[in-house]
Structure formats: C-alpha cells, structure tokens
Amino acid sequence: MKKIIFTLIAFIFSIAVYAQKILPEIKVGTVLHCSAYVEGQAYPLLLTIKSMSGPVSIAWAVNGYGEGTFEMTAKSLESGSKVYVPTQPASGATKLSDEETFGIISKTAYKSLIDKKAFPYSGINFKIKASDSSPMKLGGKEVDATHVVSEDGKMELWILNNAAFPIILQSVGLTTDIVVSEIK
C-alpha cells in the first residue's frame, strides 16, 4: 500500500513539474533568436542583450542586411511610454529618447500590467486578454508570459513576466512584428 501511495505522489509531482511554465533568465549576453515580419516577409533576426543598465543596449543582426544597436536610457527602461518600432533599422547605434523602448516595455508599464491588469503604451491602452487560447511557447514549452491586447483588438503582445526586464516575446499588429523562437 505504501508503494502505491508513494508512486501516486511521485506521479502527481512529476505532472506538476512538467506543467510549469518556463521563465528564461535574461542577463547580459542573452541572445534572442527571432523572426521579424515586415510587409508580409519574414527575416531572421538576432537580438543580443549588451547592457541592462544605463544605457540599456540591445544589439541586432539580420543576416545579409546589417547589424547595429538600440540604446535606451536608464530612464526609458524605468518609465518609458512608447515602443520604438523601426521598419528598417539603421546600421550602427540608434539612440532612443527617454520615452522610447525597443523590444521591452518599461518597468512602470509592467507594474501597471501586474497591478491594474492594463497599461498604456504609445498612446494605446492594452489589457490582459481575457481567455488566452494561444500561450507563448519556446522550444515546445510554455513560457511565463502575459498576453495583452489593445482596446480595439488590433494589436497583441506577449510580455515575459520579468519585472526587471519585461521583454516583448511576440507582437501582432505593429508595423514590424517580431516573434522570439529561442532564448539562449
């Protein structure tokens, strides 16, 4: 009888461990393998976290096109209110204003998302999608991310649940949409 109970407990524990969402560690040197969708065409995109403090720096590379960096101030990471979405990024360093972020939302916006289940960004109000039938997955495993939708339903974002660095893992409805497929 004890063996049966132990086996049952072990089975339940293994199901609970398997069902947990993954939360990738984001640090300097983290590489995000992405696809960028511009005017219906997909382009392979690599994003590399170069710095997570002022200035915050994310390097980008598109094979055959070029490479560069997006530099954000510490203030933009803390309280930025606009997302910078280039259709064609410029080679070299692109310095963003204190209000702009690239590939992430600010800590203030993330706090609002957690506390109020909604946040404004780039003049658009986003709220948590009520019934989420499309969770974000990396490597076949569900990621601990929050799926938000704009009030008009035209834009969607999947945001990594990481208060220190809330990365946008997927976007739908922007001029350039990005889907992260792997984080290393």
pLDDT of 133 > 80? The answer is: no
Q: Of 167, 156, 166, whose CA–CA distance to 132 is shortest?
A: 156
> What percentage of the chain carries pLDDT values higher than 90?
76
Residue indicated by tokens 């954000």: 72
The reported pTM is 0.87
Mean pLDDT rounded to a whole number for the chain: 88
Which conformational region is residue 9 in: left (phi greater than 0), alpha (psi within -120 to 50 degrees), or beta? alpha
Question: Which of 78-92, 103-117, 161-175 is predicted with the least confidence, judged by mean pLDDT?
Answer: 78-92
Which one-letter amino acid corresponds to residue 11?
F
Which conformational region is residue 173 in: left (phi greater than 0), alpha (psi within -120 to 50 degrees), or beta? left
Average pLDDT over residues 100-126: 97
Q: Of 30, 52, 177, whose CA–CA distance to 107 is shortest?
A: 52
pLDDT of 103 > 80? The answer is: yes
pLDDT band at 10 (very low <50, low <70, confident <90, very high): very low
